[in-house]
Amino acid sequence: MEDLELNKIQPPPASVGLWLGYGALCVGMFMAILDIQVVVTSLAVIEDALKIGADRMSWVQTTYLIAEIISIPLTGLLIRIFTIRWLFVGAIFTFTLASIGCAFSYDFFSLILFRVLQGFAGGVLIPLVFAAIFLLFGKGLNQTIATTIGGLLAVLAPTLGPLTGGWITESYTWHWLFLINVAPGIVTLVIGIFCLPRNLTRLSQFRTLDWISLAYVAVALAALLVGLKEAPEQGWLAPQVFGCFLIFVIGVYLAVRRPASAISFWLLRDRNLAFGCVLSFILGIGLFGSVYLLPLFLAFVHGMGPLDIGLVILVTGIAQLVTAPLAVQVDRYVDARLLSAVGFAAFAIGLLMSGFQTIATGYDEMFWPQVVRGAFVALCILPPIRFALGFISREHIADASGLFNLSRNLGGAIGIALIDTIVFSRGPEHADQIIDLMKEEPAKAASILGLAVDELPDSQDPMGLLGVMDVVEQASITLAINEAWVVLALITAMALGVLLAMGPIRTPAPQVPTGARP
């Protein structure tokens, strides 16, 4: 194929081979997202095996996320240089090799090194799928189906992660948390080589690349994630945390001000993409927050292990799979803004439904909130993708996809930090309030604790109070978690205001193509 500009190249015919290639891309993305949740379920096991201190263990996840979030906005640039085919082959090869390296790590530093490589490759695999939707398929049913497959796998992976990680942890050694990536990695690599389109690479673009802007972005995003990691414990206005946030703001500002920045921030002048990124950010808070919060409740309050937690939250994944075909059909005929509004409103309701839990809340009470969230999350994904990326010129689809996916991941990181802040700051406050209630309003305290009034110890009996402290702790964490659910619901509901402010979806004016930089 001639070395033409991407926006002048028509999508190839949707052959069986092309669908196989796209399927390989989706599997790669699924592996990258799944890896985060699979590993987090077994950090304690890895800690014991490699003799890593608990204070350093969280960096196994943090370094992966930093590397991933840095590589996501670079995907557009890398596609232009290497093409979809060779970028995918390189990324999946690196991801698979790094997975093997993680499995055979012998200490903290070797594990961190391979997790960084894994995260960087995984970050490329995620937006690559959403760029491929518009670069490999023309407008119509094929593009809608491709969007559905990619979007569904993107939200299904976090749901299946705890179940997969729990099963591996209880059935095999921790090494298999990483080795499960090897077989699908090899298969998808081979499929990618033979089935993805063969375009010409443009390695010469390395000579004109603005490396300084890349450095600004990398430092900014790394500082943001470190700040978010430390904020719940140190405080959001603690000097070191505030310093990280300040570095983030300065780094992004300097990168945007570069005359030829390697990251196409100027694409956000397209209002459809800009509003789409805001919605993606909000969804990231709600989606990643809910996937994090429910296992937190099951582990801290009910003492469940990873496998049992995975079985409980599997309800969300099943609801997603059942409703996805209907979402595909509806998305073809109904206004994207209306569908997005329905999706975000229902998802917010599903979050709010979980905000009234007690320490006695079990599977039955958690069933319907999960069904609601799983059934409507596709409507929070498909329509925004359609209007955010559907009007971008082919030349800049990959860059726009990177910004869109970066927004979702940043939302997820901020959402999790916000949850940690609420749960671990409000939990002790609720515990003090419950103890006061035991003295002043025993009936109310007993109701919160799930006990009969005569089961409460005398307020003057220290040993008796000590005997119910475990229940008090569970109840206080439950109340804090409920507040976190409500906050997630309110933030998700803000998407309705964003959609209202967006107004009717307009195509770019003919005289100013979306892909042309002014």
Q: Is the pLDDT of residue 10 over 90?
A: no
Is-same-fold flag (8-206; 264-507)? yes
Amino acid sitting at position 241: V
Tell me the three state secondary structure of residue 399.
helix
Tens of pLDDT, residue by residue over 430-448, are 998 988 888 888 888 888 8
Rounded CA-CA distance 122/119 in Å is 5
Instruction: Give the position of tokens 């916000």.
Output: 418
Helices (H) and strands (E) in the chain, counts: 20, 0
Q: Is 466 left (phi over 0), alpha (psi -120 to 50) or beta?
A: alpha
What's the whole-number mean pLDDT along residues 190-200? Answer: 91
Predicted confidence band of residue 334 (pLDDT cuts 50, 70, 90): confident
Taking CA atoms, 266 is separated from 80, 273, 396, 402, in Å, by 17, 11, 11, 13
Tens of pLDDT, residue by residue over 23-79, are 999 999 999 988 887 887 777 788 888 888 766 777 888 888 889 999 999 988 899
Tell me the three state secondary structure of residue 369.
helix
Nearest to 170 by CA among 27, 314, 311: 311
Q: Taking the CA of residue 447 as centre, how many other CA atoms within 13 Å lie in the half-sphere pointing to its CB?
A: 5
Q: Is the pLDDT of residue 4 over 60?
A: no
The three-state DSSP-derived secondary structure of 39-96 is HHCCHHHHHHHHCCCHHHHCHHHHHHHHHHHHHHHHHHHHHHHHHHHHHHHHHHHHHH
Output the six-digit token pair for 122: 């995984």
pLDDT at 515: 39
Output the six-digit token pair for 245: 């946030």
pLDDT at 461: 65
Q: Is the pLDDT of residue 1 over 60?
A: no
Q: Is the pLDDT of residue 514 over 50?
A: no
Tens of pLDDT, residue by residue over 87-137, are 999 999 999 999 999 999 988 899 999 999 999 999 999 899 989 998 898
- CATH code of 264-507, in short, is 1.20.1250.20
Cβ atoms 97, 182 nearer than 8 A: no
pLDDT at 345: 98
Which runs of consecutive H residues, i.e. helices, occur in 172-305? 176-179, 182-195, 211-234, 239-257, 271-300
Domain ranges of the chain: 8-206, 210-261, 264-507
pLDDT at 447: 85
pLDDT at 460: 66
What's the whole-number mean pLDDT along residues 197-202? Answer: 84
Q: What percent of the chain has pLDDT over 70?
A: 93
pLDDT at 488: 97
pLDDT at 94: 97
pLDDT at 517: 42
pLDDT at 262: 86
Rounded CA-CA distance 453/448 in Å is 11
Amino acid sitting at position 258: R
pLDDT at 11: 66
What's the whole-number mean pLDDT along residues 330-353? Answer: 93
Question: Domain 8-206 belongs to what topology?
Answer: Growth Hormone; Chain: A; (1.20.1250)
What's the whole-number mean pLDDT along residues 186-196? Answer: 96
Tens of pLDDT, residue by residue over 266-276, are 999 999 999 99
Output the six-digit token pair for 219: 């430092």
Q: Is the pLDDT of residue 287 over 80?
A: yes
Rounded CA-CA distance 243/235 in Å is 12
Rounded CA-CA distance 355/371 in Å is 15
Predicted confidence band of residue 281 (pLDDT cuts 50, 70, 90): very high
Tens of pLDDT, residue by residue over 356-399, are 999 999 999 999 999 999 999 989 998 999 899 988 988 889 89
**By mean pLDDT, which of 233-242, 256-265, 437-446 is the weakest?**
437-446
Predicted confidence band of residue 249 (pLDDT cuts 50, 70, 90): very high
**By mean pLDDT, which of 39-53, 332-346, 498-512 is the weakest?**
498-512
Rounded CA-CA distance 33/22 in Å is 17
Predicted confidence band of residue 306 (pLDDT cuts 50, 70, 90): confident
pLDDT, the chain, mean: 88
